[in-house]
Structures are given as structure tokens and as C-alpha cells.
Structure 1
Amino acid sequence: MSVTENSAATVALPVVRPGGVPGGLEAREVSAWFGEHKVLEQVSLDMPAGQVTSLIGPSGCGKSTFLRILNRMHELIPGAALAGEVLLDGADVYAPDRRLTDARRRIGMVFQKPNPFPAMSVYDNVTAGLKLTGVRVSRSERDRLVEECLTKAGLWNEVRDRLRQPGGALSGGQQQRLCIARSLAVRPQVLLMDEPCSALDPTSTRRIEETIRELVSEVTIVIVTHNMQQAARVSDRCAFFLASPGVPGGIVEYGPTPAMFGSPQDPRTADYVHGRFG
């Protein structure tokens, strides 16, 4: 498809502070397969540092697969394969000398369905990633980290008196923001979000969208969404994916979000963003 451009050691605490350094992400000719079925065909996409890039398109066109490729989750699926490169600040995350845990720490993920550890406390949910990445910190530093990350996720004022209660006892919207806080605790450069509001009510959706805009100065965000209004509200740039029977998914058009919605260059983009199909 053509593309139209429109060992655990004591280390310093990775506190999320104003002035964090988002990373630029770039996909180069990425193709993907599930067994013999090819689902993506040579997708190239620039996701600039400090911006929100939205991925839109009908179900089944490869958006979520592409998102999982960006932080090396695709390779965990039996029978899955891929080709191409994913560069974080110019370095290939799939390079042989690149540790998987490093890629996951620097490129975080928030899933469609909130997935806090239900029996684990709110506090321990936020700090769970530190143990997985081998970061040891003092109790006072953990306390500070928990407050900072929950504040960044817009949740601190709602749960500050409930930190020792199970994360699974929170509402759906609160659980999703808890997952965002958990991702932020290891200070990623990029945060991937796969339809993070699809199961939430309008009020929770609005709060997640506010959180996205507040975070983007510190972390690059790539979001998959089927909500065109949401894409228009939260993203700086937008990529329209499309597939057809027998043809793998690819990018039809990519550019600044206002142009993609106001004056798209490809008629298929215009039809999709204006609700004529999909």
C-alpha cells in the first residue's frame, strides 16, 4: 500500500519528574505473520518524541499487532514472526545485544482491559515493575515514587487513603489509571496504549484523555483507538491503517491530526474518519 504523508543491583530511583525525556520511536518496513498468515506489510512510521500518535482503522487491520511489535510482545505469540526494524532514539530494540527487559522498561504498555494485580494493594501495584526490572530502593523512596506516579496518572487524590487496599477493588477507570501509574514507575520513554478507554464510562474516558495530554511532555505516547473523536482530541499525529481480504494491513495515510481529519489526501481516509465505513 502506498503511504500518503499529511542481576538485581542497587541503582538510582527512576522517579518520574517534570522534565523527563521522551523517546522518539520509528518503525522501518515492519511486516508481521501469524504462522503462514501475513497481517502487516512493510509498515514504516515515525512516532516523534514528546507527541501523541494515534493509530486508527477498522478492526483486523493490524493496529494492535503493530503496537505489540513496538515493545517486543509479538514475539511471545507461538508461530508469530516479523521482519523490519523498530528504533528507539535510533537504536534497534530487536538488536541481538538488546535485553528484552530493557525494551519493556523503556517502552511501557497499557492494555485495553485494565489489568492490575487484583489481590495486590494499590501501593504494591505501582511498585511491581521495580522488582521485575531489578531496581532496589528504600521505603521512603518507594513512598515518594508511589505518590508521584499516582499523581501523574490523576489518581492520587482518589486513593491516597486506600493505598493498602486491593487494586482490584477500584473502579474500572481507576484501575486503568493505576495501570498507567504502574507503567510510569519504571520511567519509560514511550507508553503504548491499546484502546485504553474502550471499556470505560464517559467520565473515566475524559480523565484518561486528560492524563494523556498531561503526560506527553515526559513520555511519548502511541495509542490505538476506534473512537475518532478521541483520536482528534488527544493526538498530535495520526496513522490510518487498512486491510482488505487477502491483503495484509498497512498504512494508507499519516500526518498531523488536524489535517487527517480536516483535509485527508486519500478518499479512503476521508470515508473512515467521517464514519462512512468501519
Structure 2
Amino acid sequence: MLPVVPAAATPPPPPPRELATLEARGITAWFGDHQVLDRVSLTMPAGVITSLIGPSGCGKSTFLRILNRMHELVPSASLAGEVLLDGDDIYRADRPLTDARKSIGMVFQKPNPFPAMSIYDNVIAGLRLTGISADRDRKDELVQTSLQRAGLWNEVKDRLRSPGGGLSGGQQQRLCIARSLAVMPRVLLMDEPCSALDPTSTRVIEETMLELAHEVTIVIVTHNMQQAQRVSTQCAFFLASQGTPGAIVEYGDTEAMFSEPIDARTFDYVNGRFG
């Protein structure tokens, strides 16, 4: 049995890295013959939380999945355009898929830990999936630092060998965040991470995001307008109307978009007049 790392033996924080800028250029996407996005371009600045808002069905989650090459897992899916991580196209033909997954992590709407796998093994599961090798001491260190960064360590440090499925919903979501952080991504994508959580768990996740923004670039899809205002610095409003594919209507500083939007459709949406 692996020893539990005592609280006093706090491992050193990960070494500082240059924060990453993620840029989408002219992203157009289809599922079969159905076009879901039309020429979407957006810069997601380094060390900033960018929120993607808009009604259901306007392509926000599809756009998010394109940002780390998950879109191509759907057999009928196709796309055009570029996704640049610090100027390097993640879809470049000679760039391995695992490179994108290591650099750009994903947290889904519904917490998805491996339920029969221990908390410890859940955290390091991403290492195997992305081909990262680590010895026992390194794994122990990664488990602790990742759980600390996800705001979960103090709650689970004495039961790391308990099943991840035994945690509460909010704890499971933070476990999934820890699993993503263990591979040291430079960008973290979050698809409505709080939609299934109670207000207390939501607050903890939001606090975690704000702390992580100093270490990783975060992009979050949310239908909660108050959440977008609380956590994001930049906001992009997506809309698909009358059968047209999704596109960005307006983007910029979050507070400006909510207080003085340029487009009347943005004003109507953030004020609850549709969507």
C-alpha cells in the first residue's frame, strides 16, 4: 500500500511556466452535412479566464472540444480553420494528438471520475492516457500537488485509496480538475463545470478557477450569467439564429459586455430576454 504523504511534507509548487495564449482562427465545423459553426475567431489570452456564453445549440461546447481536438473523435465531424497554442497549430499534420491533450486539458459538465478507481489512481490516470511515465515518488508528488491545486487535498488526504465514486458531486468535479492538472496542461477547458452542482460546491469550484488562472489559461462554457461575471475577465457571446450555424456576436471585457454591450442581441441575452 502506498503511504499517505503527511500534510507537513508539502511538495514544492510546480516550476513557473510561461502562460499560454490560445487562438482560434476561422473555425468552421460540421457534423456530417450539418454546419454548426461559421468562421469563429477568438483569442484567449494567457492567464485569463475567458467565458463562452449563449443559448443552447449555438456551438459553444463544439467550439470548446475543437480547442483540444476532441471534435474529431465523432466519426461524422469535420472542421476548417486553425487552433494555435502560442502560435503553433495543434492540428498540424506532424503534431501528435497526445501533444494537444497534454497541453490543453478538459473538464466536462458532469463529473466523470473512474468510479471504481481510487482517488489516487484517478489523479494519475491522465499520465497513462497521455503516455507520461513517472516513478512512485513523482506520482505521490503529483497526486498531492494536483489535489491541492484543485482545492481537494485537505478533504481526501487520509483516504486516497478510497473509490473516487464515493465522493460528493462537487468533490468529484474537483477530482476531475486534479486529474487534468496532473499532466501539467497550459490551458484548461471547462464545459459547464458547475451545472450539476449545488451553490456551495459551485462557489468552491469558482474559487479554484480564480486561483488556477495564475497558472493556466482557462476557457469556460457557462449558462450562468452571474458566474460569467464572477470568474471571467473576457467573454464571448455565441448565437445561432433561424437555422444558421453558430457564430460570435460580440466579445471583449466581461464587465463591459454586461454593462454596455455593443450589440442589441447581447443586451437582450445577458438581461434574460431570450435563451
* Smaller-chain TM-score bracket: over 0.9
User: Which ranges in structure 1 are unaligned for 5 or more consecutive residues?
Assistant: 1-14
> TM-score by structure 1 length?
0.93
Which amino acid in structure 2 is aligned with residue 84 of structure 1? Answer: G
Which amino acid in structure 2 is aligned with residue 98 of structure 1? Answer: R
1:65 aligns with 2:76: no
How do residues 160-171 of structure 1 correspond to structure 2 at under 5 angstroms?
160-171=157-168
SS in structure 2 opposite 1:115?
A: coil
- 1:162 is displaced (CA, Å) by 1.0
Whole-Å Cα distance in 2 between the matches of residues 232 and 251 of structure 1? Answer: 18
Whole-Å Cα distance in 2 between the matches of residues 134 and 248 of structure 1? Answer: 36
User: Which ranges in structure 2 are unaligned for 5 or more consecutive residues?
Assistant: 1-11
> TM-score by structure 2 length?
0.94
Which amino acid in structure 2 is aligned with residue 224 of structure 1? Answer: V
1:237 aligns with 2:221: no
- 1:138 is displaced (CA, Å) by 2.0
Which amino acid in structure 2 is aligned with residue 109 of structure 1? Answer: M
SS in structure 1 opposite 2:27?
A: strand
RMSD over aligned Cα atoms: 1.0
**Structure 1 consecutive aligned stretches of length 4 or more whose deviation exceeds 4 Å:** none
Residue in structure 1 matched with residue 181 of structure 2 by the alignment = 184
SS in structure 2 opposite 1:244?
A: coil
Residue in structure 2 matched with residue 172 of structure 1 by the alignment = 169
1:221 aligns with 2:211: no
- 1:216 is displaced (CA, Å) by 0.5
Whole-Å Cα distance in 2 between the matches of residues 35 and 136 of structure 1? Answer: 38
How far does the alpha carbon of each residue in 1:177-202 deviate from its partner, in whole angstroms, 9 at most, with x for none? 00000000000000000000000000
- 1:20 is displaced (CA, Å) by 3.5
Q: Which structure's relative contact order is higher, taking Cα pairs within 8 Å and 6+ residues apart?
A: 1
SS in structure 2 opposite 1:87?
A: strand
Whole-Å Cα distance in 2 between the matches of residues 139 and 229 of structure 1? Answer: 42
1:104 aligns with 2:101: yes
Which amino acid in structure 2 is aligned with residue 105 of structure 1? Answer: K
Alignment check: 8 A CA contact 2:101 2:130 kept: no
Which amino acid in structure 2 is aligned with residue 102 of structure 1? Answer: D
Aligned CA distance change for structure 1 residues 256 and 28 (closer, same or farther; 3 Å): same
Whole-Å Cα distance in 2 between the matches of residues 146 and 228 of structure 1? Answer: 33
Whole-Å Cα distance in 2 between the matches of residues 247 and 148 of structure 1? Answer: 45
How far does the alpha carbon of each residue in 1:3-45 deviate from its partner, in whole angstroms, 9 at most, with x for none? xxxxxxxxxxxx9626343310000000000111101000000
1:42 aligns with 2:51: no
- 1:245 is displaced (CA, Å) by 2.0
Counterpart pick for 1:77 among 52, 74, 77: 74
1:118 aligns with 2:121: no
Q: Percent identity?
A: 74
